[in-house]
Structure 1
Amino acid sequence: MARNRYYDGPPSDHFDGTRFFNPGQASTDRGLRAVLRWKLAGAAAKWPVTVPVTPAMPRPRVDGLSVTMVGHAALLIQAAGMNILTDPVWSERASPFRRVGPKRVTAPGIPFEALPPIDVVLLSHAHYDHLDIATLRRLHAVYDPLMAMPLGNDAVVRAGVPGARCVTGDWWDRIDLGNGVATTLTPANHWSNRWPSDTRMTLWSGHYLETRAGTIWFVGDTGYGDGAIFRQVGERLGPPDVALIPIGAYEPRWFMAAQHVDPADAVRIFTDVDAGRALGIHWGTFQLTDEARDAPAEELAAALDAAGIPRDRFVAAEPGGVYHFGRTPVTSR
């Protein structure tokens, strides 16, 4: 049996002693034959080489609640005086290699040098488009933030960022982040790896933030499955004021459905938890799958219309967009 070099803990309902898994859900494992079937079909839409971005220049601190889209799953959450980054990636590629792998078509929505002081980094899982060691090294060198993540990911971070301040948790664990802010790690239907040999040896999750300015749920990468985990979030933690829900990287469905929601499923998550507002994330920065770059935003609008939900309640976030939340609908910049 393969040895888990990242995490050594007792078996549970989602850990078999070596690998984590999604209990009761379709398998996310995909063999070489499935990958070749996908890639040889040649169905990937052509993306633009670059898309212009107007960068944001955030204030040092925000008393209320605002979210600035950096790109993909990287967002700056400013809440009640705290500055929090999710899955930060400022690198040019989402890859272990500098010259190979998905290249960003949008510049970061915040120049790294324009970041406010970063207090906390939230990591959802170990895939390269979410856990970028080069970016974490830069953040550690300048801000030394607390980094919160699911089980096993701390081994990856500490190996690449010596001295990083890491805290870990299992699904449903609540972690105090300081200054009246806490995160609860929420289940997701996904998987993880850094190399083919370590598939599902680190856990994946979302983050449900409690702050004095409101609650924010960063869903993390996930398939919809039977939807049970999303209903549990609403039941156990309450409807979030703001949900950050992935809407991209979903085609072809036969390959991706178990691990990535499409816009229609994203709207189901939104209604399952009765979120107040939502931003669509995980689209338009790195071409990971077959759909056209703008398809997630277009299909999100159609899914909202079909569900009878006003479009201003669930907006596809654009890099550089600054979204302010309160009692009125979401506004940009």
Structure 2
Amino acid sequence: MSSASSSVMLYAAAISSSQMAGAVPEDAKELKHHLKDGKGFVNPWRSYRDFTPFSIMKAMISHKFSGDSNSPDTTPPTVPVVKPEFLPSRHTPALRATWLGHACYYVEFPSGLRVLFDPVFTPRCSPLNWLGPKRYTEQPCNIDDIPTIDAVVISHSHYDHLSHPTVMRIKELHPNVHFFVPLKNKQWFIKCGIHNVTELDWWEARDIKLSATDSKGKAGEEDPKITETAKTKDSSNPQEILATIECLPCQHTSARTLFDKGHTLWASWSVQSGGKKVWFGGDTGYRAVPKLPKSENDYDTKYGFPHCPAFAEIGRLRGPFDLGLIPIGAYDPRFIMSSMHANPFDSVNIFLDVQCKRGLGMHWGTWVLTEEDVLEPPKLLREALRWKQMPEEGVFDVLDIGASRVYADSETKS
């Protein structure tokens, strides 16, 4: 056995395996993330510093003219793109995750459940098809290439996570697909003519029951049956797929225009099925870091900036997770982006707080949204893993776009 494999096994063994299923934080019922007038949501922690859309634009313009800004070079080659291979049937003995670019993952659970997270299959992440951030890496596949989609999980309403053309195409190809969204996002789907939608608040969960047939609307297909319980066991009936999907906190915000910031909720998610549990981080920050000299490390102990406590609560009450899908990009300039977007050092802390056994990076490699060089996130991730004295490979990794990683009980395969 290699030394790297030994390190991975020892690390996994150190994670607690008995947690409080169904428990919620003591203050969850206070709904501190809800605005008092009921018209939106906030991040209720000291780790968040709020910016209005206009203040962000002003800060970015000022930063650009300061001479400190960076324009990332997207000249190929950048991130390798491979054609994804999806399993031909629902039969799989292991958990399998495929990165389809940015924050989109397709996860095949051992139960047969197939879940698509934050899909955006368009050239631009923008309300306009001719303006806005354009892909600098190729789209690895089309929605038509994905054989089965049972559930689509959406983290929030930003255009790089929620795409109208993509959602409509998924619904066309998979008419019985069920969408899971954070609170107040359901109305957007209903306006699109989509009614198979469940919206949840933080710490709310639903059990789902699906017919184990092809999801493209063939005879005998049933829509998911949602119950109110937050705890389930996998059915012994091969004609059923049971899973628990739970909406959990993260530190971000939402908007579809310049005038609806925070009107809908943002979230991370837990999906448990077939004896495997996945945490999807969505889009999140970890700490609010002020403007510092470039030579300064904002994790220096002399600073002690507060970090978001929600991730440790998730780990304590819902962990451990077999796999965490965690954002590692779109973080520069740090003094503007840190409240909303994690850099790789934040990402490794989130990974540890949430109690993930393994992790895969996301939220990079697709669109230029911020100023870090396009290949910097995986380099910084390796530095962050060394900083925490963790293996640089085999625990928290990055994939090529379109590539898959299999997580069996005894080994991990690409």
Q: What TM-score bracket applies, with the shorter chain setting the length?
A: over 0.9
Of 241, 244, 249, the residue aligned with 1:187 is 249
Whether 2:271 is the aligned partner of 1:240: answer no
User: Following the alignment from structure 2 to structure 1, what is the Cα–Cα distance between the partners of residues 101 and 340?
Assistant: 20
Whether 2:146 is the aligned partner of 1:115: answer yes
Partner of 2:23: none
Whether 2:293 is the aligned partner of 1:212: answer no
Contact 1:55 1:111 in 2 (8 A): no
What amino acid is aligned across from residue 294 of structure 1 in structure 2?
L
- Total equivalences in the alignment: 322
Shift in Å at residue 270 of structure 1? 1.1
Q: Which has the larger radius of gyration?
A: 2
Partner of 2:193: 162
User: Following the alignment from structure 1 to structure 2, what is the Cα–Cα distance between the partners of residues 290 and 34?
Assistant: 13
Of 294, 297, 303, the residue aligned with 2:384 is 303
Partner of 1:12: 31
User: Following the alignment from structure 2 to structure 1, what is the Cα–Cα distance between the partners of residues 396 and 277?
Assistant: 16
Partner of 1:176: 207
Shift in Å at residue 182 of structure 1? 1.4
Calculate the aligned-residue CA RMSD, in Å: 1.8
Shift in Å at residue 11 of structure 1? 8.8
Q: What is the SS of the residue equivalent to 1:251?
A: coil
- Structure number with greater CO (CA < 8 Å, separation at least 6) is 2
What amino acid is aligned across from residue 403 of structure 2 in structure 1?
G
Contact 2:143 2:169 in 1 (8 A): no
Shift in Å at residue 50 of structure 1? 6.8
Shift in Å at residue 105 of structure 1? 1.7
Partner of 2:59: 34
What amino acid is aligned across from residue 162 of structure 2 in structure 1?
L
Partner of 1:45: 72
Partner of 1:316: 398
Contact 1:223 1:261 in 2 (8 A): yes
Whether 2:43 is the aligned partner of 1:22: answer yes
Partner of 1:72: 102
Partner of 1:331: 413
User: Following the alignment from structure 1 to structure 2, what is the Cα–Cα distance between the partners of residues 146 and 216?
Assistant: 18
Shift in Å at residue 39 of structure 1? 4.0
User: Following the alignment from structure 2 to structure 1, what is the Cα–Cα distance between the partners of residues 411 and 348?
Assistant: 17
User: Following the alignment from structure 2 to structure 1, what is the Cα–Cα distance between the partners of residues 410 and 364?
Assistant: 25
Partner of 1:138: 169
Shift in Å at residue 329 of structure 1? 4.7
Q: What is the SS of the residue equivalent to 2:244?
A: strand
Which runs of 5 or more structure 1 residues have no equivalent in the other structure? Answer: 1-9
Contact 2:72 2:368 in 1 (8 A): no
User: Following the alignment from structure 1 to structure 2, what is the Cα–Cα distance between the partners of residues 235 and 205?
Assistant: 18
User: Following the alignment from structure 1 to structure 2, what is the Cα–Cα distance between the partners of residues 49 and 200?
Assistant: 36
Q: What is the SS of the residue equivalent to 1:312?
A: coil
Partner of 1:256: 337
Of 131, 135, 143, the residue aligned with 1:104 is 135
User: Following the alignment from structure 2 to structure 1, what is the Cα–Cα distance between the partners of residues 277 and 358?
Assistant: 11
Partner of 1:285: 366
Whether 2:230 is the aligned partner of 1:148: answer no
TM, length-normalised to structure 1: 0.92
Shift in Å at residue 116 of structure 1? 1.4
Whether 2:114 is the aligned partner of 1:83: answer yes
Q: What is the SS of the residue equivalent to 2:123?
A: coil
User: Following the alignment from structure 1 to structure 2, what is the Cα–Cα distance between the partners of residues 92 and 49?
Assistant: 17
- Map Cα deviations across residues 53-95 of structure 1 (whole Å, 9 max, x no partner): 2211201324221001100011101002011100001100000
What amino acid is aligned across from residue 47 of structure 1 in structure 2?
T
Distance 1:19-1:163 versus aligned 2 partners, 3 A rule: closer
User: Following the alignment from structure 2 to structure 1, what is the Cα–Cα distance between the partners of residues 311 and 121?
Assistant: 30
Contact 1:284 1:293 in 2 (8 A): yes
Contact 1:120 1:146 in 2 (8 A): yes
- Map Cα deviations across residues 95-140 of structure 1 (whole Å, 9 max, x no partner): 0000101111222333322201110000000000000010000000
